Structure 1
Amino acid sequence: MDRFPAPRLLIFDLDGTLIDSRQDLCNSVNATLAHLARPSLPDAVIASYIGDGASMLIRRALGDPDYVEDALLDEALGFFLHYYRAHKLDFTYVYAGVFEALEAIRAAHPDVPMAVLTNKPVHPSRDICTHFGLDRYFFQNYGGNSFHTKKPDPHGLLKLIAEANALHPSESPITPAETVMIGDSDVDILTARNAGARSVACTFGLAPHTLAAAQPDVTVDAPIEWPSAIFA
């Protein structure tokens, strides 16, 4: 990453990057399908549907992401969100090395702000981060329903840049080129590219099969590699 300016803002994805939420999401989808008297899906199939927000996850699980009757989608999505709110912490855990990496970044670069930008609905995202104590590292946490668009649209990332600049208005503005998006899927890599930011891809997450085609700037195999990869 030496062809880029020094990082001044770090933005992290949540699912598959900071936390492994795969089992709780899969269980919630299959509970929804059972509620609708539909057959369950293998966890691996459901996991491949994660990354574009709750609505698209349910659309895919129902079999046709391009067309689902409004009434069916409303019922399915409503049940899913209700069930997931109650079960979002049954099996979810923070990846090994995440706290150590975040502490190392904060110790070495205390003036670099960090935030979360996920396509998960914002309330469970914030609740999960608070539960595990991740929230103390981040000045903001935005979800897939925080804006009118989701990743890979760059709106949320650009909003976070603006908010980070507002924290220190006397300093020179942080630019997209000084911003790094860390995530586990092509959605995150494309979000960074669409904003003019840099990207770090996490192969340990939920969608490693999508990363190569997206061509991230840097790839890591574990969270503990973040400090050296980001600030190389």
Structure 2
Amino acid sequence: MSSALPPGLLVFDLDGTLIDSRQDLCNSVNATLQHFHKPKLPDAVIASYIGDGVSMLVRRALGDPEGDQHDEEYVTEVITYFLDYYRAHKLDFTYVYPGVIDSLEAIRATHPTLPMAVLTNKPVNPSRDICNHLGLARFFFQNYGGNSFHTKKPDPHGILTLIAEASALTGRAITPAETIMIGDSHVDVLTARNAGAHSIGCAFGLAPQSLITVPPDHLAQSPTDWPALLDSFRT
């Protein structure tokens, strides 16, 4: 898919796209399982559960993704423990992927007025805290999380809200056709499709295998590919 218009808005996923948060998320899940006397899981298994928000991450770790094995009060208690633990340990090992800062600076230099935002299924406060701490916040006019709206990705509500806000910010009507969602999983690709936007998949992220069954419009092998890929949407 391509567009005759230059990009009007870039929307980035966080985990597996801008940052490698795998170890802190895996450690937090296993600390939670241990606290509730459940067996720990391999990091690779936990990583495959990431992408659909905290509730689904915890439910999958409990072996109950459909919610039919545990009562909601228990699940809520487990989620609360996980969130409290993760808030305290979210920056133990998390780092910005090599090339991300340079690429964001290159995009900003080439497109100085192009609005950029974060849309993640991670809760919004940890997302904003991480971006502030790691020097990412300066690039983005907005950062929304999985609890910012009544729905999460791949529902298009979040990205459509960002399109409206970016339009108000720039003083012109930005369309979905001018919008690009950049992320590492099928969730991000589907979010773009559901909004009528374009997508760039990140093969270096936490869930690149999911991009095989739900392919993006373009694939980045590294964050350093992003600036050049933006130009491909002009043709």
Identify whether the pair has TM-score above 0.5, normalized to the shorter chain.
Answer: yes
Distance 1:105 1:23 in 2: 29
* Alignment check: 8 A CA contact 2:21 2:94 kept: yes
| Correspondences of 1:21-32 after superposition (within 5 Å) | 21-32=21-32
Deviations 1:163-203 (A, max 9, x none): 0011122x3x1000000000000000000000000000000
Deviations 1:86-115 (A, max 9, x none): 000000000000000000000000111000
Deviations 1:128-170 (A, max 9, x none): 000011000000000000000000000000000000011122x
Question: 1:114 corresponds to which residue?
Answer: 116
Structure 1 letter corresponding to 2:183: G
Query: Residue 199 of structure 1 aligns to a residue in which SS?
Result: strand
Question: 1:104 corresponds to which residue?
Answer: 106
The CA RMSD measured in Å over matched residues stands at: 0.9
* Alignment check: 8 A CA contact 1:200 1:230 kept: no
User: TM (normalized to structure 2)?
Assistant: 0.96
Query: Residue 231 of structure 1 aligns to a residue in which SS?
Result: helix
Among all aligned residue pairs of Structure 1 and Structure 2, give the percentage whose two residues are the same amino acid.
69
Distance 1:190 1:230 in 2: 19
Q: CA deviation at 1:69?
A: 1.3
Question: 2:197 corresponds to which residue?
Answer: 197
Query: Residue 205 of structure 2 aligns to a residue in which SS?
Result: coil
Distance 1:194 1:14 in 2: 19
Structure 2 letter corresponding to 1:231: D
Question: 1:215 corresponds to which residue?
Answer: 215
Question: 1:57 corresponds to which residue?
Answer: 57
Q: CA deviation at 1:212?
A: 1.6
| Correspondences of 1:29-40 after superposition (within 5 Å) | 29-40=29-40
| Correspondences of 1:70-109 after superposition (within 5 Å) | 70-109=72-111
Which structure 1 segments of 5+ residues have no match? none
Question: 1:9 corresponds to which residue?
Answer: 9
